[in-house]
């Protein structure tokens, strides 16, 4: 699978839980497109950290779409995902659905620091509704978008 450039994994509604071994992503240096659907699995911070450890190795990604709706994810998991995204230098399109989790202001602030590194980002969709994020943090996030000079399409849901 050295030539694999696109990978689409749908494990939604499997109730994987945080105790499952979520190292489901093979180490793929050549991967350009990664789509992961893990909605309704209760993977928590531990599961997302494991997934993020795999993503951090895929530094050639151009398109990342990760659906983590309703997974009991908190700040630590969101911050781990943010750090892994910070290592990807060629990212053009990023879709993240973290709706209905337990993310608070600090998680969003950590994400802001990493998203500012994405100088090539053209499309961003970030869904964070049904979390515990305050109004001032949303304003801080909007200010961080000024660093994304190539951004053409933006979808935000808080």
Q: What's the whole-model pTM score?
A: 0.93
* Total count of residues recorded for the chain: 158
Cα(first)–Cα(last) distance of the chain, in Å?
38
pLDDT at 24 over 70: no
pLDDT, residue 38, reads 95
Confidence of residue 32 (pLDDT cuts 50, 70, 90): very high
Per residue in 64-110, pLDDT (tens digit) is 999 999 999 999 999 999 999 999 999 999 999 999 999 999 999 99
Q: For residue 133, count other CB atoms closer than 10 A to its CB.
A: 19
The SS3 call for residue 139 is helix
Residues 107 and 131: their CA atoms lie apart, in Å, by 11
CA distance 140 to 158: 13
pLDDT in tens, 105-155: 999 999 999 999 999 999 999 999 999 998 888 787 888 899 999 999 999
Q: Which domains does the chain have, with CATH numbers?
A: 59-158 (3.80.10.10)
């Amino acid at each position: 699978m050295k030539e694999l450039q696109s990978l689409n994994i749908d494990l939604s509604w499997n109730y994987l839980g945080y105790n499952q071994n979520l190292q489901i992503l093979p180490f793929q240096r050549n991967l350009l497109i990664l789509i992961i659907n893990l909605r309704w699995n209760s993977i928590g911070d531990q599961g997302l950290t494991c997934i993020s450890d795999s993503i951090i190795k895929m530094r050639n990604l151009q398109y990342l779409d990760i659906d983590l709706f309703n997974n009991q994810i908190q700040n630590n998991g969101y911050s781990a995902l943010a750090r892994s995204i910070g290592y990807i230098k060629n990212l053009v399109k990023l879709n993240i659905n973290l709706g209905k989790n337990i993310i608070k202001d600090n998680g969003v602030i950590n994400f802001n620091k990493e998203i500012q590194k994405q100088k090539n980002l053209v499309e961003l969709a970030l869904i964070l509704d049904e979390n515990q994020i305050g109004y001032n943090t949303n304003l801080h996030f909007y200010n961080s978008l000024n660093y994304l000079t190539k951004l053409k399409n933006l979808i935000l849901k808080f």
